[in-house]
């Protein structure tokens, strides 16, 4: 089962990534 990458991105906003 491959989950969409969008979900993983939505879970952690760019702010948390800091990149």
CA-to-CA distance for 15 and 9, rounded, in angstroms?
11
List, in sequence order, every beta strand (DSSP E) within the chain. Answer: none
Q: How many residues does the chain have?
A: 19
CA-to-CA distance for 7 and 16, rounded, in angstroms?
15
pLDDT value of residue 16: 59
CA-to-CA distance for 9 and 17, rounded, in angstroms?
10
Secondary structure class of 18 (helix, strand, coil): coil
Span 1-19, pLDDT tens digits = 666 666 666 666 666 565 4
pTM over 0.75: no
pLDDT value of residue 5: 66
């Amino acid at each position: 089962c491959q989950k969409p990458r969008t979900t993983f991105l939505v879970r952690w906003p760019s702010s948390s990534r800091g990149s």
